[in-house]
């Protein structure tokens, strides 16, 4: 007997010859060991002496979500720490000092959050980034990440997602369930959503690959409304980890990006009235005369 499944592409190893930087501005800031906050379209990097100490993105769950979603930390404990400090990084440092969380757990969660939000903060953007020199970020007790390491990891993650499934549409769109046998979605019974190339068609009709428990959790939350970022927040899971499962489930034909909402119907053409409303005109005349 044979069991055929789509082989998983290998995790990429960075190309050491590739010297391209994701953001020339960020490279310059790292070289001058700048301290401040870099605001980009999809996220924010806090730099201290040229190292990334904290990152935030609306597309990635923050440290608070990661820590409280599964009861590692009580939500009230986070809120107390956040109320007494000037931001999530300082709240995390306060938690570290107070010893309510094991050091290793907090360091691990913090690094996860930095690389996760950093991935989105460094995503291609349509607007230039802005850097605000600010003495507030500083190298604290939690681990920081060299800019070059974050850039390299971000490039490697892009490559990993691309190898799993080359179309990024499912990363940001609301997701819908699809029939893995045909790749057909309820909204588009005629065929798979999106453009079909021979490769895509082949991938969609490949024998169903088993869904892992972690993928099952993602699949169970696909409801036609939630995006990958929503599912990550709902699961208290890193957004990039969720994207990996979303791309794999898309490749397996289990889910698809929801088709874009149809354009609103064009406004009705201006109607030329041949029969004016006599009553309205009379009221208007009376009103004008009364002035």
Which residues lie near another protein (CB under 8 A)? 8, 10-14, 66-67, 69-72, 99, 101-105, 107-109, 111-112, 115, 143, 153, 156-157, 160, 210, 212-214, 235-238, 240-241, 244
Smallest distance from the beta carbon of 264 to another protein, in angstroms? 39
Q: Are 133 and 213 in contact (CB under 8 A)?
A: no
Nearer to another protein, 200 or 226 (CB): 226
Kindly state the DSSP code that residue 179 receives in the 8-state scheme: B
Nearest distance from residue 211's CB to another protein, in Å? 10
Nearest to 248 by CA among 282, 280, 206, 290: 206
Tokens for 105, please give them.
Answer: 């757990």
Residues 6+ apart with CB under 8 A from 49: 33, 34, 35, 139
Q: Please identify, using beta-carbon distances, which residue of 138 and 241 lies nearer to another protein.
A: 241
Complex with another protein: residue 14 or 283, whichever CB lies closer = 14
Q: How far is the CB of 8 from another protein (least distance, A)?
A: 8
Distance of closest approach, residue 124 Cβ to another protein, in angstroms: 19
Helix residue spans in 137-277 (DSSP H): 147-164, 169-172, 198-204, 213-219, 228-235, 239-251
| Nearest distance from C-beta of residue 35 to another protein, angstroms | 23
Closest by CA position to 70, among listed 221, 217, 237: 237
Q: Which is nearer to another protein, 25 or 77 (CB)?
A: 77
SS3 state of residue 95: helix
User: Residue 114 belongs to what H/E stretch?
Assistant: helix 103-121
In the bound state with another protein, the residue whose beta carbon lies nearer, of 35 and 153, is 153
């Amino acid at each position: 007997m044979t069991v055929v499944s789509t082989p998983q592409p290998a995790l990429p190893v960075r190309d050491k010859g590739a010297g391209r930087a994701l953001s020339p501005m960020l490279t310059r800031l790292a070289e001058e060991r700048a301290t401040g906050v870099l605001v980009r379209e999809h996220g924010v990097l806090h730099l201290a002496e040229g190292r990334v100490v904290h990152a935030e993105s609306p597309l990635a769950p923050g440290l608070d979500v990661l820590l409280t979603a599964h009861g590692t930390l009580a939500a009230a404990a986070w809120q107390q720490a956040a109320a007494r400090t000037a931001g999530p990084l300082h709240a995390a440092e306060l938690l570290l000092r107070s010893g309510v969380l094991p050091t290793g757990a907090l360091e691990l969660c913090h690094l996860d959050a930095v690389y996760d939000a950093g991935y989105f903060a460094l995503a291609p953007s349509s607007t230039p980034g802005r850097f605000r020199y600010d003495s507030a970020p500083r190298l604290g007790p939690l681990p920081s990440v060299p800019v070059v390491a974050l850039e390299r990891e971000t490039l490697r993650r892009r490559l990993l997602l691309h190898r799993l499934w080359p179309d990024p549409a499912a990363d940001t769109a609301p997701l819908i369930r699809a029939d893995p046998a045909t790749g057909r979605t309820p909204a588009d019974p005629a065929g798979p959503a999106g453009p079909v190339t021979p490769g895509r068609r082949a991938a969609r009709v490949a024998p169903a690959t088993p869904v892992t428990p972690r993928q099952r959790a993602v699949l169970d939350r696909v409801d036609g409304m939630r995006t990958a970022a929503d599912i990550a927040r709902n699961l208290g899971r890193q957004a990039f980890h969720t994207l990996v499962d979303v791309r794999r489930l898309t490749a397996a034909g289990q889910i698809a990006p929801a088709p874009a909402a149809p354009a609103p119907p064009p406004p009705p053409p201006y109607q030329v009235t041949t029969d004016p409303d006599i009553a309205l005109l009379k009221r208007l005349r009376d009103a004008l005369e009364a002035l």
